[in-house]
Chains A and B, each alone.
Chain A
Amino acid sequence: MNTVIKAALAYLVVLFVIRLIGRRTASQQAPMDMVVLFLFGGLSVSAVLGEDHSFFGAMSALFTVGMMHVGVSWLKIRSQWLERVIDGTPIVVFRDGAFDERHMRRLRMQQADVRTAARQQGLDDMDDVAVAIVERDGKISIIKADPEA
């Protein structure tokens, strides 16, 4: 019983802490972001299971986290507000040749992050980028400029 409650609480706490610290970490872009995620995992396991090393204890926590995930997903598709709270919304960080400094600062992103995404799309000039969007999962989408325009 105790393990189930702690696993459910840990799921919610980790979910919101990851959201609160920003989407850079969720995208696992750099080693420093991965350090946070690895430590979150380890600390959560010790907080949920403590000295309980039993198979059933671990399984009860595992199933609880799985069911919490299903439950939150179920709620998310029924509430747009909850969906935005949990996943966030895309954010435009580059448009018409200019970086949006305010959004970049909020997301703790550098121009290099956007340039990397552009290069991954085969572009070697930011003039070829119409819009760069930081998606809900933290990845950067590049929309190419229309050469005809």
Chain B
Amino acid sequence: MKVVRDDPPMPQEIAAGFYPAFEDGWRLTEWLGRAAMALFIAACVLGLLGPGLFSKRHAANPDRSITADYDAVVRFGAPTVIQLDTKVPDGKDLVAVTMARQLVDAFGLEAITPNPQSWQAGDDNVRITFPVVPGQKRVFIRLAGSPSFRGSQNLWVRLDAGESLAWSQFSVP
């Protein structure tokens, strides 16, 4: 197979301005490509392809005993945070939160603030207990992780009294 092509003589190419038809077509491709890049940037800024202006979501169960703030779209392997706000059981100085296995595994849980007092392993969940400042009605818990799932993932947390909250997050590459 002949792979070295015979181009026209050079003076002929220069006189014709080389290949203007191809360059005109490429110009259109350039504009389309740049438009695609601009759209991609806009989607990133808006939060359609990861944390951005409008990616934050707030979820609460009916009696608002648990609420969660999270990014609806996260990026695979990139740090992200879920903020939980839970009710303290009346007269107790401990809050126990049971988390779905996916929240530890697929979410890639790396840090919990404040430090839990104890961990208990379940078959598809982990129960974590936090000491509470006496007299507090609600506590704030921060979960930091790096998602290791792709696509949609359902997550949930539950308090001992049975109140639970479920939400889903979507991970992009």
Interface size, chain A (Cβ < 8 Å): 22
* B121 cross-chain contacts in A, Cβ below 8 A: none
B11 to chain A, nearest CB (A): 10
Give A contacts to B, CB under 8 Å: 16-17, 19-22, 50-51, 77-78, 80, 84-85, 88-92, 106, 131, 133, 143
Point out the residue from B22, B29, B37 that lies within 8 Å of A17, measured CB to CB: B37
Task: Give 5 CB contacts A-B under 8 Å.
Answer: A19-B30, A50-B77, A78-B3, A90-B13, A92-B14
Chain B interface residues toward A at CB < 8 A:
1, 3-5, 13-14, 17-19, 22-23, 26-27, 29-30, 33-34, 37, 77
Q: Are B14 and A85 in contact (CB under 8 A)?
A: no
Are A84 and B22 within 8 A (Cβ)? yes
- Select A133's contact among B1, B3, B5, B14, beta carbons within 8 Å: B14
Query: Is A80's CB under 8 angstroms from B23's CB?
Result: no
User: Is A89 touching B3 in the complex (CB atoms < 8 A)?
Assistant: no
The interface centre, meaning the residue of A16, A19, A20, A78 with most chain B CB atoms within 10 A of its CB, is A20
Task: Find out whether the CB atom of A51 lies under 8 angstroms from the CB atom of B37.
Answer: no
Please, which residues of chain B bring their CB within 8 A of the CB of A143?
14
* CB-based contact B30/A89 at 8 Å: no
Partner of B18, one of A16, A22, A77, A92: A92
Count contacts between A and B, CB distance < 8 Å.
Answer: 41
**B33 contacts which chain A residues (CB < 8 A)?**
16-17, 20
- Which listed residue (A17, A51, A77, A131) contacts B14, Cβ 8 A? A131
Given A20-B37, A78-B3, A80-B5, A92:B27 Cβ within 8 A? no
**Contact between chains at A88 and B26 (CB < 8 Å):** yes
Contacts of A131 in B (CB 8 A): 14
A78 to B5, CA, bound (A): 9
* Bound Cα distance from A91 to B34, whole angstroms: 21
Partner of A90 from B18, B29, B34 at Cβ < 8 Å: B18
A79 to chain B, nearest CB (A): 10
Give the chain B neighbours of A51 by CB distance below 8 A: 77
B14 & A20 in contact (Cβ 8 Å cutoff): no
The residues of B that contact A19 with a CB separation of less than 8 Å are 30
Q: Top 8 nearest A-B pairs by Cβ distance?
A: A20-B33, A89-B19, A77-B3, A90-B18, A92-B17, A89-B18, A84-B22, A20-B30
